[in-house]
Structure 1
């Protein structure tokens, strides 16, 4: 597989190091869409790891780019609050949403309310339920893979990554499987700006989000009238801490669960195949040693970093890295940068599937907001690769992916592949 992005990356390297440091802005979705943000973060880690960007499409914000500093912010929810939202939001999006009610979710809350709502839904991803789900996920993975074409180019994102995660998410919601791709579509509508993904305008985005929330309000009403069941909507409708939440708060949690249950796993499934093709010696090592799948999964989650950042708001003046972050300032923890911090992770730009301590990464976050579904993500990735290795001697990536135009979701819109043959 050839890398058609070399010139773009060289240009990004030159721009990142020639620009005045004080004006450096890593929050540029075009850089992420071109996989060209790496030199910006490399320079910030080296020269200004606690960096203030005064002007950007997202307003003023601080960038935290080193591993240990990110952990310090992530684990101090009293100083760095989630209540104002957990992502950088563009000024355009803020203006568009100015006259609409806020839709808070538990990830954008601080304890104790956060803890109460998270506890309500966490049983669905507890070890006992994952054990029950594993055979179902395996059966679905096998069916997906057995239906793939041999010897012709197809889009891995569409036929594999989206399909498996949509099936799993529909199960968690007890949403009709025949309508599962609506969940995938709504996730893309939530996370894309007009002109990208399926979003063509703010009006269309509003309309489709409203449709999504209308569907889930109907599900809430039906589940609230029924006996408690073991799905996310029923849990919220009957939970002591959530059954009295207002509609806007419920909608915020729906958006969180759709995005969290879809984007991260789907983009890591795609990222794993892309990374293995970029690193053929590692792919060969995996085929010869399938017991490395678990380690490969963790290494991919680090290497891919499916959510590039999380944001917080300072609740007080605080010193970090010789700088003063003021009360009210927005702070971006760039997981994508911390996962490439060579002061903590040896040779971090390399993809090494038998790396010592592969679970040492930032991709799931730390502290009270650590990803509630992290074990489910790992389970889906593990199962799909166990089934891939049984069926296909190799899956070849035959072109560069189309990457997501976002500073939050770090993923793939398309990934062209060919499966030359099935295993004997």
Structure 2
């Protein structure tokens, strides 16, 4: 099994335990990573990777250990980055997910009202109208790419709403999201220099919007709230860019790839789809199961602020620690039959995809709502969404994403 750059054994048991590095992006693209993480959970759940493209770092693969790291921000700092690797350049825009309190708390609080429960209730009818418009525009009985026509289109429209971004330019949001998560420090395919140049174009565009919002009365969109909140209105342009990247990716990748993952999961598990068709009240729990099964973001990185013992290993102050959410969601000790897709689990929200602690995903309820509404409308229109080709996946150890999923719709 040979990538353009490296050989990737499909069988982790062909390697010495000490030589296993689960961060190789090709493992995820070829779906070999499941067996790698299974072996690490069984034999070395707190595993030190010394070399490789991203080492040295500690690989944490069990659910409870991940929760411990995520909920102890005093022991494990998210500063200066949440990506596994160390950037090749000094270009690392600050963002509140890669900050510690109190700065983190102040900046997150500035934008939190955009996705507060009352705002979500107000947005539900808008989301439904867009879902209806998108679904009713799809070809029936002929193949098309679900990622482009549905997953990207729905989430990009939502992003434009959250930012009050010019609707005719909304495709730029998807582009900037993809670029921001495609750098070499997470196994992406563009250079750090190219990434920097494109994201500076993003900053230039948003700086014009910032100026307009700062001079106008406050509104409930991300830019306006950043421009008017005392904790963020005087931030440096590079910090504005960092928080833009965070909010764009957070509002895009989790939902977009879960939308595609939901179609794939239900296609691969026809008994579960039949169960859903027979009882649409299961949509809510199915959505949570999709988010667990898909795990849209594979990992987050922390840095030990002091010597810490975890899983019988001594993690030294300054060591990088990587929480593999994608592994924790398949931990046999935390979740029954974790490799199975089961839409009526007793506790479907018992997963780690949104993280825990102060950095728990701010827009988790919005992501769930978009998926719920989408499937409520799908089930009214289509008897089946048939996957007619292999999914194409992004080259990354961070975003568990898709570039293509060919499908054919069968009407009710």
Task: Give the TM-score, by structure 1 length.
Answer: 0.93
Q: 1:28 aligns with which of 24, 28, 45?
A: 24
- Structure 2: gaps of 5 or more residues: 1-7
Q: How far apart, CA to CA, are the structure 1 residues paired with 2:109 and 2:196? A: 30
The 5 A counterparts of 1:12-161 are 12-14=9-11, 16-89=12-85, 94-95=87-88, 97-98=89-90, 100=91, 102-161=92-151
Aligned partner of 1:378 in structure 2 is 368
Q: How far apart, CA to CA, are the structure 2 residues paired with 1:212 and 1:133? A: 26
Q: How far apart, CA to CA, are the structure 2 residues paired with 1:298 and 1:12? A: 32
Answer yes or no: is the 8 Å Cα contact 2:187–2:396 preserved in 1: no
Number of residues of Structure 1 aligned to a counterpart in Structure 2: 404
Structure 1 residue 59: Cα displacement: 2.6
Answer yes or no: is the 8 Å Cα contact 1:154–1:418 preserved in 2: yes
Structure 1 residue 114: Cα displacement: 0.6
- Give a deviation string over 1:357-391, Cα, whole Å, max 9, x none: 00000000000000000000000000000010011
Q: How far apart, CA to CA, are the structure 2 residues paired with 1:331 and 1:354? A: 34
Q: How far apart, CA to CA, are the structure 2 residues paired with 1:86 and 1:265? A: 19
The 5 A counterparts of 1:15-414 are 16-89=12-85, 94-95=87-88, 97-98=89-90, 100=91, 102-193=92-183, 201-414=191-404
Evaluate the alpha carbon distance shift between residue 36 and residue 248 of structure 1 in structure 2; reply closer, same or farther with a 3 A threshold.
Answer: same
- Give a deviation string over 1:120-155, Cα, whole Å, max 9, x none: 101111110000000000000000000000111100
Answer yes or no: is the 8 Å Cα contact 2:392–2:403 preserved in 1: yes
Q: How far apart, CA to CA, are the structure 1 residues paired with 2:300 and 2:344? A: 28
**Alignment partner of 1:394: what SS?**
strand
Q: How far apart, CA to CA, are the structure 2 residues paired with 1:200 and 1:118? A: 29
Structure 1 residue 201: Cα displacement: 4.9
- Give a deviation string over 1:328-348, Cα, whole Å, max 9, x none: 000000000000001110000
Answer yes or no: is the 8 Å Cα contact 1:185–1:198 preserved in 2: no
**Alignment partner of 1:282: what SS?**
helix
Structure 1 residue 208: Cα displacement: 1.7
Structure 1 residue 197: Cα displacement: 12
**Alignment partner of 1:413: what SS?**
strand
Evaluate the alpha carbon distance shift between residue 83 and residue 193 of structure 1 in structure 2; reply closer, same or farther with a 3 A threshold.
Answer: closer
Structure 1 residue 207: Cα displacement: 2.6
**Alignment partner of 2:284: what SS?**
helix
Task: Give the TM-score, by structure 2 length.
Answer: 0.95
- Structure 1: gaps of 5 or more residues: 1-10
Answer yes or no: is the 8 Å Cα contact 1:103–1:249 preserved in 2: yes
Structure 1 residue 192: Cα displacement: 1.3
Evaluate the alpha carbon distance shift between residue 286 and residue 153 of structure 1 in structure 2; reply closer, same or farther with a 3 A threshold.
Answer: same
Answer yes or no: is the 8 Å Cα contact 1:189–1:197 preserved in 2: no
